[in-house]
Structure 1
Amino acid sequence: MSTVLGAPRRWVMRWHRPLMLMVASMLFLLVVSAAGLVFDDRELLGAPVWLKPFKFAVSMAVYGTTLAWMLSLPHRGRKWTSGLATVFAVTGFVDTAIVAIQAARGTFSHFNKSTASAEKIMQVIFGNGVLCIMLANLALAIILAFQRVHADRAMSRAIHTGLTLAVVGMTLGFLIPLQAKTETALTTSGERVSLSSGHSVGVPDGGPGLPLTQWSTTGGDLRIPHFVGLHGLQVMLIAALLLAVLAARYPLLRDDRTRARLIGVAATGYTGLIALVTWQALRAQPLIHPDVLTLAAAALLTAVTALAAAAVLAAAGRASATG
């Protein structure tokens, strides 16, 4: 039994160490933020001050663990990918630390135009960190795009398409500052601070929002496409794992080429979903209150994706019958 339990531990220990250290720090922040949500009743723009650090900790822990696993797979250019992952780990840690520090201080970590020198320095570091994270992910996606990083074709394609979707999601995050929606808001101490932009479209930030995410329920919210795209990597990997599990039961899925084609269909459909929620947000429309146009587009996207998947399975069935 100890041998069985020790194997996963040795496997994880071979994962990219800076990334795993970053993940460990995120798990610690997760605990601190959860305690803050329970015991600290301060709010910023109508949301608990510790909600943003909590969400950042979850997102960075999930993404960092995924990257660490991916980089444990055999691939060319390991020195480059390791260096890029270290950039991601360091900048991810620093940026999330700024989010947590600002939450503890009861002020804003994003788009804070305070004239205080400490705030200016934090904003410069935070902004450059976001850019470094995106560029590191882009470079990783390019390096891995031209090689098969997993023995299973479907999983390899999931990695390639997932990284691309994540880069798209990170890029969509820049729509928020591009709004240049200048607002003013109060810190928890009552100080009025100017903000250079905001995530809501058509309504002020800080209005009614969904539980936990706080995505606006009265207007568009550009955090939605950012989130959906950013975690496309995890969605693609989960899809590949599910197909591998289903392959044991359904013979049509036993050929990894068929599963890889289905991952391609899923990635294309997911790209359509990202475009859909971006379009919806830019039209100042809440996620939970779609209009007829949004519903029609969603129905068309679902139908086309289902037909494409059916075509792949039908082709696999014909190949199996003639083989």
Structure 2
Amino acid sequence: MEFANYRKQPLFWNGMVMAVLTVAILPLLFLDTRTLLGTSVWTKPLKFTLSVGLYSFTTVWVIFTFLKDWKHQQKIQMVLTVTSAIEIFFITLQAARGEASHFNITTTWNQIVYSVMGTSISIFWVFHLWIGYQIFKKESIFQSVKESLVWGLGIAGFAMIIAFFMTSPRPDQMESIKQGIFQASGTHNFGTGDPGKGIIFFGWSTKIGDMRVPHFFGMHVMQIFVFLAAFLMGKRNSIQNLLLVRTTGIVLLLMNVVMVIQTLNGESVFYINPVYTSIYGISIVIVFLCLFKLVIQPKIFSHEATV
């Protein structure tokens, strides 16, 4: 796709805005000494602009390459752009105020922000799945390419929905709310004890369950599948490729589900548990072998239409 065509796509400009915001936020990590929950107030906006930017660039390629003739594609892009922009706006605004953007119900304003963000991302999720459904029913896409896209979009959709585990208020929070004490509603931590300092930049706990880990993993597995789909467009459309893609999708989805189970059990994904760690290790080996098998094939261009 030529750059002139990219410039007509809302999600492309969403990605460009995220890139500009990322560059603008970076100096603030060093210039602003304020912290929130042990990290710079600007860490969360930076993580989200990077994530949304990556999502925007990969998704606009998927839509324009495979759904160019879909009459709703421009509208879908606008919805994804607006809803993600709302999320980024409030996360950045709250960071500038030195306030938490998620789970924060300490004031009426913070409650409104949290509610609007929840509504916005729910709408985003529905339209994301709509794209996946359109790809799924598109018959002209090579089956191995289609499955790669569907697995990527599907696992990302699963990763988005598991975020709602984090928004549910805990029993102690519910008790405080009943007493008229409004502090927080929900948390990304599961389990008891000190979550610790967390991994550099990401802040993920290595001591107790942290739902941000499976959420991040599933969201960005999507990029792996999109790149794989682009690669497979220059390969023979074979049953072997289809089975390799399908195996990769099944294994990564199951890996994501296991991460959620371990987290809900109050245990960090990074904790060395013989059962969970073995599952992750075996899964990574299987995925690596499948991807290696796909990559080493000779590149054969087909003259069949892909859209």
TM over 0.5: yes
- Equivalent in the alignment of 2:152: 162
2:170 is equivalent to residue 180 of structure 1: yes
TM-score by length of 1: 0.79
| Matched AA of 2:262 | Q
Structure 2 vs 1, CA of residues 124 and 288 (structure 1 numbering), >3 Å: closer, same or farther? Answer: closer
2:96 is equivalent to residue 114 of structure 1: no
Q: Is the 8 A contact 2:67 2:73 kept in 1?
A: no
Q: Is the 8 A contact 1:229 1:274 kept in 2?
A: yes
Deviation of 1:181 after TM superposition, in Å, equals 6.3
Q: Which has the larger radius of gyration?
A: 1
Structure 2 vs 1, CA of residues 121 and 299 (structure 1 numbering), >3 Å: closer, same or farther? Answer: closer
Q: Spell out, residue by residue over 1:41-87, the C-alpha distance to the aligned partner (whole angstroms, 9 max, x if none).
A: 11111111000000000000000111111111243762223222211
Structure 2 vs 1, CA of residues 146 and 107 (structure 1 numbering), >3 Å: closer, same or farther? Answer: same
2:127 is equivalent to residue 133 of structure 1: no
Q: Is the 8 A contact 1:46 1:207 kept in 2?
A: no
| Matched AA of 1:290 | I
Counterpart among 6, 12, 23 of residue 6 in structure 2 = 12
| Matched AA of 1:56 | F
| Matched AA of 1:140 | I
Deviation of 1:297 after TM superposition, in Å, equals 2.6
- Equivalent in the alignment of 1:285: 267
| Matched AA of 2:154 | T
Q: Is the 8 A contact 1:33 1:54 kept in 2?
A: yes
Deviation of 1:109 after TM superposition, in Å, equals 0.6
Deviation of 1:96 after TM superposition, in Å, equals 0.7
Q: Within 1, Cα distance between the matches of 2:229 and 2:143?
A: 9
- Equivalent in the alignment of 2:177: none
Q: Which secondary structure state, in structure 1, belongs to the residue aligned with residue 183 of structure 2?
A: strand
Q: Within 2, Cα distance between the matches of 1:83 and 1:244?
A: 27
Counterpart among 38, 60, 68 of residue 68 in structure 1 = 60
Q: Within 2, Cα distance between the matches of 1:76 and 1:33?
A: 34
Structure 2 vs 1, CA of residues 110 and 155 (structure 1 numbering), >3 Å: closer, same or farther? Answer: same
- Equivalent in the alignment of 1:210: 199
What is the root-mean-square deviation of aligned Cα atoms in Å?
Answer: 2.8
Counterpart among 174, 177, 189 of residue 200 in structure 1 = 189
Deviation of 1:237 after TM superposition, in Å, equals 2.0
Q: Which runs of 5+ in 2 are unaligned?
A: 174-180, 298-307
| Alignment length (residue pairs) | 287
Q: Which secondary structure state, in structure 2, belongs to the residue aligned with residue 229 of structure 1?
A: helix
Q: Which secondary structure state, in structure 2, belongs to the residue aligned with residue 194 of structure 1?
A: coil
Q: Spell out, residue by residue over 1:139-158, the C-alpha distance to the aligned partner (whole angstroms, 9 max, x if none).
A: 221222111464x4432221
Pick which of 285-294 and 213-222 moved more. Answer: 285-294
- Equivalent in the alignment of 2:134: 143
Counterpart among 248, 264, 278 of residue 296 in structure 1 = 278
Deviation of 1:203 after TM superposition, in Å, equals 4.1
Q: Within 2, Cα distance between the matches of 1:181 and 1:76?
A: 48
Q: Is the 8 A contact 1:200 1:222 kept in 2?
A: yes
Deviation of 1:25 after TM superposition, in Å, equals 1.7
Structure 2 vs 1, CA of residues 165 and 83 (structure 1 numbering), >3 Å: closer, same or farther? Answer: same
Q: Is the 8 A contact 2:19 2:49 kept in 1?
A: yes
Q: Which runs of 5+ in 1 are unaligned?
A: 1-6, 184-191, 248-253, 317-323
Structure 2 vs 1, CA of residues 214 and 259 (structure 1 numbering), >3 Å: closer, same or farther? Answer: same
Q: Is the 8 A contact 1:198 1:205 kept in 2?
A: no
Structure 2 vs 1, CA of residues 229 and 79 (structure 1 numbering), >3 Å: closer, same or farther? Answer: same
Q: Within 1, Cα distance between the matches of 2:20 and 2:287?
A: 40
Q: Is the 8 A contact 2:191 2:208 kept in 1?
A: yes
Q: Is the 8 A contact 2:136 2:146 kept in 1?
A: no
Q: Within 1, Cα distance between the matches of 2:205 and 2:134?
A: 37
Q: Which secondary structure state, in structure 2, belongs to the residue aligned with residue 125 of structure 1?
A: helix
Structure 2 vs 1, CA of residues 125 and 205 (structure 1 numbering), >3 Å: closer, same or farther? Answer: farther
Q: Is the 8 A contact 1:74 1:149 kept in 2?
A: no
Structure 2 vs 1, CA of residues 114 and 297 (structure 1 numbering), >3 Å: closer, same or farther? Answer: same
- Equivalent in the alignment of 2:92: 100
Percentage of matched positions with identical amino acids: 24
Q: Within 2, Cα distance between the matches of 1:11 and 1:156?
A: 23
